[in-house]
Amino acid sequence: MAFGLRTKSFGFIEGEAHEFVGALQWWNQIDDSDQWQRGTYYALCAAYTLVSFVALVQLVRIQRRVPEYGWTTQKVFHLMNFVVNGLRAVLFGFYRSVFAIRPKALEQVLMEVPGLLFFSTYTLLVLFWAEIYHQARSEPAQKLRPSYFIINGFIYLIQVCLWIYMSVSKTAAGLEAAKLLLAVISFFAALAFLLYGGR
């Protein structure tokens, strides 16, 4: 017994299709333009430089205000923000040189290190919130800091293994796995933000 499948025909009216294709052509012209790409990369470089500078100013202000406390979580957070955003500013500022690096695995290392440091920076912020939360509820917080180091060490170990795999294997599987890893760890960092940041 055969069943006939009834489907509706979806399509554009001729005028709508022309407008849609025209919009795509506009985007393709911008996407193919060296001038637009250069402007975008330099704008990103300027934005990351500004954020990096603000983090450095905050670090210096805190250090001058309370130098006797040493390296607190807050100071380390601002230092890591300075480094992460400074690295991204350099990468966007020298994007042509970065994209021309061979082997491709080395380029990927340079492109992914700021993302990993970003993960470490914001999991440090989650650690700070978690410590405050646990101390406010008189719960033990001594296992939080070792957990932070273990989780970050494990993520970095996986990433180094992926970089080694990418340098040995010439397939795109390593690149896709590295992108997936960054997406997954970013998702879990966001969940941690929701868990401790919303309390």
Residues 114 and 90 in one domain: no
**Residue of 158 and 195 predicted with greater confidence:** 158
CA gap 155, 189 in Å, rounded: 12
Q: Could you say which of 100, 117, 133 is where a domain stops?
A: 100
CA gap 109, 178 in Å, rounded: 10
Q: Is 26 helix (H, G, I), strand (E, B) or coil?
A: helix
Q: Are 92 and 48 in contact (CB under 8 A)?
A: yes
pLDDT at 15 over 60: no
Q: Could you say which of 77, 100, 123 is where a domain stops?
A: 100
Whether 18 is covered by a domain: the verdict is: no
CA gap 145, 135 in Å, rounded: 13
CA gap 140, 138 in Å, rounded: 7
Residues 175 and 112 in one domain: yes
Whether 180 is covered by a domain: the verdict is: yes
Q: Could you say which of 61, 82, 100 is where a domain stops?
A: 100
Residues 116 and 193 in one domain: yes
Whether 6 is covered by a domain: the verdict is: no
Chain segment 83-112, per-residue pLDDT in tens: 999 999 999 999 888 888 888 778 888 888
- Tokens 């939360």, located at residue: 133
Enclosing domain of residue 192: 102-199
Residues 147 and 79 in one domain: no
Residues 91 and 117 in one domain: no
pLDDT at 2 over 60: no
Chain segment 176-192, per-residue pLDDT in tens: 888 888 888 888 888 87
Cα radius of gyration (the chain)? 23
Residues 90 and 164 in one domain: no
